[in-house]
Structure 1
Amino acid sequence: MNLQQLRYVVATAEHRTMTDAARSLYIAQPALSRAIRDLERELGLTLFARSGRGVVVTAQGRQVVKLAQEALGAVKEIESLARQSGLPGADLRIAATPSLEPGLAGRLLPAYVSQHPEIRVQIVRCEGREDVVNAVREQRADLGLTDLPVPADLVSRPFERQEIVLISPPGTDLPDPVPMARLNGMRLVLPARGTARRREFDQIFVAYGVRPVAAVESDERRGWLRAVGEGSASLLWYRGMAERAERAGLVVRSLDPSIKKVIAMVHTRRRLPAMAQDFLTMTERGSAA
């Protein structure tokens, strides 16, 4: 049993459907159902009973939910005691996705450290937006850098828009920029079905009336560029990945019309340490410049 499972139990009890609870947690519904089943098996208890399209909390489940809420509240209070001071020599922890980390490390952090040399900055590396959200929620990070949208329980501070580009194997016969119509029938590396990221891509495809072929469906981002390099497919991703892709010998092209996503700093609805607030102020000033 871990804190993440307790959060899943509380969310399921609050929303009364696995679908709505999963959406609020920013995870796929099958992953939530599996986690709940694993916890029930571990505890030897039935926490939820199926009821139509929703779930009902059992008598045992109500006791577990109450204790889970108390435990999560206690964890937040303990962590707040340790994180509120922002004293010199403290760590500022920022969660970031692989595609956005280069901009954080190369542009934002040097500007911040030059103004606050007494603060140590730690990048919490996350596989994707869902991991950033969880890192911030669990207070493993003070701030998160990700694209929008994020769940409503987090505060988002938009500060830039980043272009989505097409990363292709060398020798691919395409113009630059690539008309969106050319994505029709194109073999692409895509996130796994049922994930929030995949739904966003599917919405883009519907909006432009194109039907790419899902050649690779995976949330293992480390393998995405490798799949492109092997000639399996092309990849839609952020301009921030362009340098890494080009170093791997891949070709980066813009899209026509251009598609951009809003990038934001996100945090929980709590009093932030002074060092985190200073970082937010710096990013907001930079976006207004």
Structure 2
Amino acid sequence: MDPVETRELAYFVAVAEELNFTRAAERLGIAQPPLSRAIRRLERRLGVTLLERTSRRVALTPAGEVLLGDARKALDTVAAATRRARRAGRPDPRLVLAMKPGGDGGLLPDILKAYEADPDALPVEIVSSVGERAALVRDGRADVALLHTVHDLSGFDTEELLVEDQAAVLPADHPLAHRASLRRADLEGETLPRWPGKVDDDATGPEVRDVAELMQLIALGRVAAVVPESARRLMRGDLACVPLVDAPPATLVLAWPEGSTSRALAAFVRAAADVAARVRSGPACP
């Protein structure tokens, strides 16, 4: 069987998503007849029917449903590889790290210092993102990310850096703010913020896109939040951070594309692992 071309996969994905050849052709910027011929050639090459066509509708066959999922992944992988190659070939290549502001558990300054001493190190560009860190690595816009294990880590190699207890962040004048510790049941009735890209059935509050916005909403009494205890470093004077004794630990990991052969990335992972081995989480929130 001849290899399938990425162009053919892109054509098929457009038709499969639109379930309409006219709309798919407009989306691709081509005429409809060549698109129809390309899909028929793909079906002949694979020896299966991908789309059921009638005068009224287009529908995916079981084979088409399987190809759609895999084709999306393949196209994303090609796009990511292209972005990484272009960035690596720049006159001033950099290692791009995606992280949430304050989401390093206090480790990043020591990691950067250790990394800079490695002969394979590149300048580090930090991209701040709340909900898209994993996506930035997957699509090639970033080389590595600091994530918590609540994220989907499929397709990544990871290095565990820090396991922390969690705490509740409340307005300083909240009735629970002066307690020595809390349980999750104590937060029933509190409004919890929603984070982009994260599904949390308990979170019904406004979507929060950065830490500064979160802290302001908490200070205004609009939301309460559950965060790793290292976030105490970001506390404002009008907020209180109270340990949650029955919350599951928050595990911080370094994540990068599975099977990467980048020497600069490998050096960064080594530096992070060495620092994490020396550093322990600080005392509980006051």
Q: Give the TM-score, by structure 1 length.
A: 0.64
Q: Shift in Å at residue 72 of structure 1?
A: 4.5
SS of 1:217's equivalent in the other structure is: coil
Residues 1:111 and 2:114 are matched in the alignment: yes
CA distance, structure 1, for counterparts of residue 85 and residue 106 of structure 2: 31
The answer for unaligned runs of 5 or more in structure 1 is: 1-5, 14-32, 50-54, 203-212
Alignment match of 1:164 (pick from 153, 163, 166): 166
Question: Hey, what does 1:190 align to over in structure 2?
Answer: 193
CA distance, structure 1, for counterparts of residue 170 and residue 26 of structure 2: 45
Alignment match of 1:56 (pick from 36, 46, 60): 60
Written as runs of structure 1 = structure 2, the 5 A alignment for 1:268-279 is 268-279=257-268
Alignment match of 2:227 (pick from 232, 237, 240): 237
Matched AA of 1:268: P
Residues 1:137 and 2:126 are matched in the alignment: no
CA contact (8 A) 1:190 1:198 kept: no
Residues 1:147 and 2:131 are matched in the alignment: no
Max Rg structure:
2
Residues 1:97 and 2:100 are matched in the alignment: yes
Question: Hey, what does 2:185 align to over in structure 1?
Answer: 181
CA distance, structure 2, for counterparts of residue 224 and residue 40 of structure 1: 41
Matched AA of 2:185: A
Residues 1:224 and 2:228 are matched in the alignment: no
Alignment match of 1:256 (pick from 241, 245, 251): 245
Q: Shift in Å at residue 93 of structure 1?
A: 0.9
For these two proteins, the number of residue pairs brought into alignment is: 235
CA distance, structure 1, for counterparts of residue 276 and residue 233 of structure 2: 23
Written as runs of structure 1 = structure 2, the 5 A alignment for 1:40-55 is 43=27
CA contact (8 A) 1:48 1:58 kept: no
CA distance, structure 1, for counterparts of residue 275 and residue 102 of structure 2: 20
Distance 1:262 1:42, change over 3 A: farther
The answer for unaligned runs of 5 or more in structure 2 is: 1-8, 33-49, 53-58, 279-286
Question: Hey, what does 1:124 align to over in structure 2?
Answer: 127
For residues 142-201 of structure 1, what are the alpha-carbon distances to aligned partners after superposition, in whole Å with 9 as ceiling and x for unaligned? 11111014242222221211332111112122212123331233x2332169x53414xx
For residues 234-273 of structure 1, what are the alpha-carbon distances to aligned partners after superposition, in whole Å with 9 as ceiling and x for unaligned? 21122233222225x2111111235321111111123331
Distance 1:180 1:120, change over 3 A: same
CA contact (8 A) 1:99 1:238 kept: no
Structure with a larger share of its residues in helix: 1
Question: Hey, what does 1:52 align to over in structure 2?
Answer: none
Q: Please report the RMSD computed on the Cα atoms of aligned residues, expressed in angstroms.
A: 4.3
CA contact (8 A) 2:157 2:259 kept: no
SS of 1:251's equivalent in the other structure is: strand
Q: Give the TM-score, by structure 2 length.
A: 0.64
CA contact (8 A) 2:88 2:94 kept: no
CA distance, structure 2, for counterparts of residue 190 and residue 41 of structure 1: 41
